[in-house]
Amino acid sequence: MSRRAATLTVASVIVLLLAVVGSVMPVPYVALTPGPTKNTLGTDDDGRPLITIDGRKTYPDEGHLNFTTVTYRGGPGGRIDLFTALTGWLDGDTAVVPEETIFPKDESQKQVEQENTRQMQNSQQSAEAAALRELGIDVATRVVIEDVQKDRPADGVLKPGDEITAVDGTKATSVTQIVDAMSAHDIGDTVNVTYKRAGKEHEAALKTVADPTGERAVVGIVLADQFKIPFKIDISVGDIGGPSAGLMFSLAIVDRLTPGSLTQGKFIAGTGTITPDGEVGAIGGIQQKMIAAREAGATIFLTPADNCPDARTARPDGLRLVRADTLHGTIQAINAINTGKGDVPGCE
């Protein structure tokens, strides 16, 4: 065998070995791809409505208000291999991001999934409150403890399910109010918390400690707003998690509770978190969500303002971007599209 042939043979063997190693070598990255998109005005795979409203007159709409999702591969429990990551980097429909972007180092995959489930539940409640407030329907609010962090000042004092009614003697009716009150304290200060348990009111004096960043004073509780809705609204989306469908849930509830068709038969998709007051927030995976929407047939995509720069550069052909700042403004924009009158904010 000539020297040249021998060199080529050795090189081929090395390349083959590298290929084999690369095909099984796990890497700390996650591949994000377009996920399922579901019509909040429609039904699930079993024919059940995604949103059911009982105790209030509802109205039909033949159009679409689809929320969009992202599917991921990888994570601490099943990392992708090097070749999958490289293929994803070359694929325009896939985003390959560092593992800690999705799975913080101090949280397990199961904890992340549980957090996503909690965020979806909170998103649904916020969406219901935002929709009803948009329609002028009164919604009462209370703040409850969802979780008490181990070895923090509240551990052994407060419990999940306790209702926080005041901080330092000032009445509190929202998570935002309580967070603001806590922010006024320095680390090491004592905060006085008034809470209800089993219908009885109690008080606790808790000495604050630093949060993981070392910048904020905390007592170690996870809070959530709970809303008293005057009739029954049920949102069922299976095992999909995260907060990013809030805007689309709110729009669907408003549409179902008002005469006429909000969509006018159009295929509208979108994304965005929602606060109980109707403020729309940014989400992750905007590129993959737009692709999923367009492939499903959407022609209009409702885009949170902070996601507009990325959405603008990755917009699929045939998809019109409509900037969503608030629930009220988004409804006005859809009506302007339907009538041809009024401003329609875009992502330009």
The per-residue pLDDT for range 126-142, each reduced to its tens digit, is 999 999 999 999 998 88
| pTM, to two decimals | 0.80
Report residue 99's pLDDT band, with 50, 70 and 90 as the boundaries.
low
What value does the mean pLDDT take over residues 58-65? 94
Residue 27 has pLDDT above 90, yes or no: no
The per-residue pLDDT for range 308-340, each reduced to its tens digit, is 999 999 999 999 999 999 999 999 999 999 999
Q: Find the radius of gyration of the CA atoms of the chain.
A: 24
Lowest mean pLDDT among 209-223, 244-258, 292-306: 209-223
The span from the CA of 277 to the CA of 328, in Å, is 10
Q: How far is CA 21 from the centre of its chain?
A: 37
The span from the CA of 226 to the CA of 82, in Å, is 44
Enumerate the active-site residues.
244, 289
Helices (H), 54-145: 82-90, 99-102, 109-134
Report residue 270's pLDDT band, with 50, 70 and 90 as the boundaries.
very high
202 phi/psi in degrees, rounded to 5: -135, 165
Report all structural domains of the chain as residue ranges with CATH numbers, in order of start: 29-136+230-339 (3.30.230.10), 140-228 (2.30.42.10)
- The per-residue pLDDT of the chain, averaged, comes to 87
What value does the mean pLDDT take over residues 166-175? 90
Q: Are 243 and 234 in contact (CB under 8 A)?
A: no
105 phi/psi in degrees, rounded to 5: -60, -25
Q: Are 259 and 59 in contact (CB under 8 A)?
A: yes
Tokens of 2: 């000539």
- How much is the pLDDT for 52? 95
C-alpha triplet 317, 320, 326: angle, nearest 5°: 145
Q: What CA dihedral angle connects 293, 295, 299 and 304, to 10 degrees?
A: 20
- How much is the pLDDT for 16? 46
Report residue 12's pLDDT band, with 50, 70 and 90 as the boundaries.
low
- How much is the pLDDT for 281? 95
The span from the CA of 41 to the CA of 251, in Å, is 9
